[in-house]
Amino acid sequence: MSRVVLEMRDIVKRFPGVLALNGVSLKVYEGEAMALLGENGAGKSTLMKVLTGVYKRDEGTILYEGREVAYTNARQAQDDGIAIIHQELNLIPKMKVYENIFLGREVRKRGGALDKKYMIQKSAELLQEVRMNISPNALISSLSIAQQQMVEIAKALLMDAKVIIMDEPTDALPDEEVESLFNIIRTLKEKKKGIVYISHRLKEIFEICEHATILRDGQFITEKPVCELDQQSLISMMVGRSLDQQFPYMDMELGEVIFSVKGLSNHLVRDISFEVRSGEVLGVTGLVGAGRTELAQTIYGLHEWKEGEMTLRGKQIHPTNPNQAIRHGIYYMTEDRKRNGLVLIMDVRKNISLSSLEKISKLGKVDVRKEKKICADYIEKINVKTPSQNQKVRNLSGGNQQKVVLSKALMTEPDVLILDEPTRGIDVGAKKEIYTLINQLKERGKAIIMISSEMPEILGMSDRVLILHEGHCKGELTRAEATQEKIMEKILS
């Protein structure tokens, strides 16, 4: 077995009224990737914040390169060789690549002027190490998400990091760019870097990691070699139960056509037609660039359209902005909950009621008592785990943030609910809860349009599947007809 470069032993972290970590241990091996797994709220992020000095541990020991350490801030951890690449990348879009790589570590000449020539040359060398053919003078804003991740990795190499923590590194990447990231991780392992790999995409664990550490409810469950695990055993250890039915599809008799689109066209989509019935889930799938999100946003009034027609409960509509769409009875739940779905600095209650202020206001003033009551009902119905309505939504786990977005959507009482990547970035237990909520909406007669890049999710939860490719509709398949192979045949036809 490889040398242990980092070890956390029996870590305890308490917050007022909450035991967040209760005797958690973690080992990181030189030249290997350690998967850190657990449901949202299991303690993964808290453990990493304890490691990097953001939180002070209450009990336990951290050993790095054989010596005990106790960082008081993230900069100390970085300077010592422990780097973290966050899910939300810490780059400044309007600055150049080399400026971001050297940010806070600028090199100066004897007279005090910045040594730009050296920093550009060194940045080029670091980018070459991670096999990225981009200019050090390029603006960050001009790069893809995958390229921006490589810039973050180059920053870690500049610090000569021995341990690199990657938090959901593939969450925003299209499938074709995931393998490129894996190749970089393999290169880092060859350089004897120790990787902590945090992901909800369990299939990735078997491809890139040698060991897995599993947490549940703030407690250490086990550490095992990945070769001794399978996906089902991982899920069982993470959630404390077997998830025999990953996709709890509900077969029910469909009602009348609620929403229909005929010949919808603009600069993003061309000649799209479909309909959705009461109690139906219409899955929308396609390769990257298919136009799935663009179609949803056009329906929601975010993109202009002049050709085609939309009909809701037999009445033609033409929403030109989200407020109009909501008033008609359509709600679009965005794929990027943190950027577009939530106001992270606001509390849970204000986020839930944000799209329904007209319903709880009188003469322009919010009826706070009514707001509290309605929000309490949604928190209970949807099982949002939060200490109170006043909790800042940024402090919730990803799964509970997603439930807040869903609560906000349902408070508008839509007839048509568009779910764009409804389970992206949440754990298997929270996914099951979202699927159960979808079934409850079907029972209530809602028409649901579900966009997902996860083919098993589309096949597992949809009544029908609409297939898009490069902004065009390539056909539909019933649930009985739909397979991954037939969907690809439609795309390539």
CA distances from 90 to 84, 165, 199, 285, 397 (A): 10, 14, 19, 31, 20
Distance (Å, rounded) from C-alpha 373 to C-alpha 226? Answer: 47
Joined tokens for residue 90: 């810490």
**What DSSP element (H or E) covers 34?**
strand 33-37
Distance (Å, rounded) from C-alpha 153 to C-alpha 136? Answer: 14
Report DSSP letters for 112-165, one per residue: S-B-HHHHHHHHHHHHHHTT----TTSBGGGS-HHHHHHHHHHHHHHTT-SEEE
Would the CA dihedral through 101, 105, 107, 111 be positive or negative?
positive
- The band of 245, judged by pLDDT with boundaries at 50, 70 and 90, is low
Joined tokens for residue 488: 């690809």
Joined tokens for residue 351: 């986020």
Please say if the pLDDT value at position 243 is more than 60. Answer: no
Please say if the pLDDT value at position 76 is more than 70. Answer: yes
* Residue at token pair 């007809």: 481
442 touches 250 (CB < 8 A): yes
Distance (Å, rounded) from C-alpha 12 to C-alpha 421? Answer: 35
415 touches 258 (CB < 8 A): yes
Question: Which range, of 64-68, 176-180, 319-323, averages the lowest pLDDT?
Answer: 176-180
Instruction: Check residue 242 and give its pLDDT.
Output: 55
Burial class (CB in 10 A: 0-12, 13-18, 19+), 261: buried
Would the CA dihedral through 237, 242, 246, 250 be positive or negative?
negative
The residue that leads in pLDDT, 266 or 232, is 266
Arithmetic mean of pLDDT, 362-389: 90
Joined tokens for residue 252: 């029910």
**Per residue in 426-440, pLDDT tens?**
777 778 888 999 999
Instruction: Check residue 131 and give its pLDDT.
Output: 77
Enumerate the β-bridge partners of residue 101: none
For residue 294, the one-letter residue type is E
Joined tokens for residue 152: 């973050």
**Per residue in 275-304, pLDDT tens?**
999 999 999 998 777 899 999 999 999 999
Instruction: Check residue 128 and give its pLDDT.
Output: 86
Question: Which range, of 31-40, 234-243, 247-256, 354-363, averages the lowest pLDDT?
Answer: 234-243
Instruction: Check residue 270 and give its pLDDT.
Output: 94
- Longest pairwise C-alpha distance within the chain: 78
Q: What is the DSSP letter of 351?
A: H
| 210-245 residues labelled b (16+ CB within 10 A) or e (exposed) | bbbbbbbebebbeebebeebeeeebbebbbeeebee
- The band of 163, judged by pLDDT with boundaries at 50, 70 and 90, is very high
Please say if the pLDDT value at position 244 is more than 60. Answer: no
Nearest partner of 151 among 161, 160, 138, 163, judged by Cα: 138
Mean pLDDT taken over the chain = 89
476 touches 274 (CB < 8 A): yes
Q: Give me the percent of the chain exceeding a pLDDT of 70.
A: 97
Region of 81 on the Ramachandran plot (φ > 0 left; ψ -120 to 50 alpha; else beta): left
Joined tokens for residue 463: 């009544």
**Per residue in 180-211, pLDDT tens?**
888 889 989 999 999 999 988 888 899 999 99
Joined tokens for residue 144: 């893809």
Please say if the pLDDT value at position 493 is more than 80. Answer: no
Instruction: Check residue 201 and give its pLDDT.
Output: 81
Arithmetic mean of pLDDT, 172-186: 80
Distance (Å, rounded) from C-alpha 464 to C-alpha 249? Answer: 12
Instruction: Check residue 172 and give its pLDDT.
Output: 67
CA 14 to chain CA mean position, Å: 27
Joined tokens for residue 285: 């799938």
**Per residue in 264-280, pLDDT tens?**
999 999 999 999 999 99
69 touches 148 (CB < 8 A): no
423 touches 457 (CB < 8 A): yes
Instruction: Check residue 471 and give its pLDDT.
Output: 92
Arithmetic mean of pLDDT, 86-115: 88
Joined tokens for residue 317: 């509509």
